[in-house]
Amino acid sequence: MAEKEKTIRLDIERFSTDPEDLLAYGFDASGLSGTAAVVAWPGTTMEVARIMRQARQMRAAVIPRGAGTGMTGGAVPAGGLPPGGAIVLSFERMNRILEVDDVNLTVLVEPGVVNGRLQRELAGYGLFYPPDPASLEFCTIGGNVAENAGGPRALKYGVTRDFVLWLEAVLPGGEIIHTGVQTPKGVVGYDLTRLLVGSEGTLAAVTKIRLKVLPLPQDVLTLLAVFGDVGASGEAVSRIIASKIIPRTLEIMDKDCMLAVENRGPVGLPSGAEALLLIELDGHPEAIKAEAARVIEICRMLGAEVTMAEDDDAREALWRARRGVSPALYQLCPHKVSEDIVVPRGNIAAMLSELKALAQKTSIPIASFGHAGDGNLHVNLLPKEKKDLTPVLRELFEKVLALGGTLSGEHGVGLTKKPFIQMEIGDAELDLMRRIKNVFDPDGLLNPGKIFPEAEPPA
Ligand SMILES: Cc1cc2nc3c(=O)[nH]c(=O)nc-3n(C[C@H](O)[C@H](O)[C@H](O)COP(=O)(O)OP(=O)(O)OC[C@H]3O[C@@H](n4cnc5c(N)ncnc54)[C@H](O)[C@@H]3O)c2cc1C
Among 139, 175, 160, 164, smallest CA distance to 66 is for 139
Q: Ligand 1 centre and the CA of 135: distance in Å?
A: 8
Q: Ligand 1 centre and the CA of 147: distance in Å?
A: 6
Residue 387: pLDDT band (50, 70, 90) is: confident
Does the pTM surpass 0.85? The reply is yes
Sheet bearing 106-109, strands edge to edge: 97-101, 106-109, 205-212, 164-170, 176-180
Model pLDDT, residue 254: 92
Query: Residue 409: which region, alpha, beta or left (left: phi > 0; alpha: psi -120 to 50)?
Result: alpha
Residues 6+ apart with CB under 8 A from 354: 399, 403
Q: How far apart are CA 398 and CA 424, in angstroms?
A: 9
Q: How far apart are CA 415 and CA 424, in angstroms?
A: 16
State which of 27, 69, 117 you would mutate to test the pocket of ligand 1, scoring each by most atoms of that ligand within 8 A of its C-beta: 69
Q: Ligand 1 centre and the CA of 27: distance in Å?
A: 12
Q: What percent of the chain has pLDDT over 70?
A: 97
Task: Compute the average pLDDT of residues 30-40.
Answer: 95
Residue 272: pLDDT band (50, 70, 90) is: confident
Q: Mind giving me the DSSP string for 123-151?
A: HTTTEE-----TTTTT-BHHHHHHHT---
Task: Compute the average pLDDT of residues 128-157.
Answer: 96
State which of 65, 76, 115, 137 you would mutate to test the pocket of ligand 1, scoring each by most atoms of that ligand within 8 A of its C-beta: 65
Q: How far apart are CA 197 and CA 175, in angstroms?
A: 18
Which atom of ligand 1 is nearest the CA belonging to 145?
21
Model pLDDT, residue 268: 81
Under 8 Å between Cβ of 182 and 104: yes
Task: Compute the average pLDDT of residues 61-71.
Answer: 98
Under 8 Å between Cβ of 278 and 322: yes
Which atom of ligand 1 is nearest the CA belonging to 74?
49
Q: How far is CA 329 from CA 112, 366, 381, in A?
A: 28, 11, 10
Is residue 450 helix, strand or coil?
coil
Q: Ligand 1 centre and the CA of 110: distance in Å?
A: 15
Provide φ and ψ at 65, rounded to 5°.
Answer: -145, 130
Q: Tell me: pLDDT of 459 over 70.
A: no
Residue 454: pLDDT band (50, 70, 90) is: confident
Q: Mind giving me the DSSP string for 319-337?
A: HHHHHTHHHHHHHH-TT-E
Higher pLDDT, 380 or 184: 380
Residue 360: CB atoms within 10 Å: 10
Provide φ and ψ at 114, rounded to 5°.
Answer: -80, 135
Sheet bearing 366-371, strands edge to edge: 305-308, 219-227, 275-283, 249-254, 366-371, 376-381, 337-342
Under 8 Å between Cβ of 146 and 159: no
Q: Tell me: pLDDT of 456 over 50.
A: no
Q: Tell me: pLDDT of 39 over 90.
A: yes
What confidence tens digit (pLDDT) does each residue in 311-351 have? 999 999 889 888 889 899 999 898 899 999 999 988 988 99
- Ligand 1 pocket (Cβ < 6 Å) reads 28-29, 63-71, 74-75, 91, 111, 133-135, 139-140, 142-144, 146-147, 149-151, 200-201, 205-206, 326-327, 410-411, 447
Q: How many residues does the chain have?
A: 459
Q: Tell me: pLDDT of 297 over 80.
A: yes
Which atom of ligand 1 is nearest the CA belonging to 28?
29
In this structure, is the dihedral angle defined by the CA atoms of residues 24, 97, 11 and 62, taken in order, positive or negative? positive
Q: Mind giving me the DSSP string for 68-102?
A: S--SSSTTSS-SS--TT-EEEEE-TT---EEEEET
Model pLDDT, residue 457: 35
Residues 6+ apart with CB under 8 A from 184: 165, 212
Residue 104: pLDDT band (50, 70, 90) is: very high
Model pLDDT, residue 271: 81
Task: Compute the average pLDDT of residues 107-130.
Answer: 98
Q: Mind giving me the DSSP string for 355-415?
A: HHHHHHHHT--EEEEEEGGGTEEEEEE--SS----HHHHHHHHHHHHHTT-BS-SSS--TT
Q: How, if at all, do strands 86-90 and 61-65 pair?
A: parallel
Q: In order of start, what are the domains of the chain with their CATH numbers?
A: 15-90 (3.30.43.10), 97-215 (3.30.465.10), 219-402 (3.40.462.40)
Q: How far is CA 285 from CA 17, 218, 264, 289, 291, in A?
A: 55, 7, 35, 6, 10
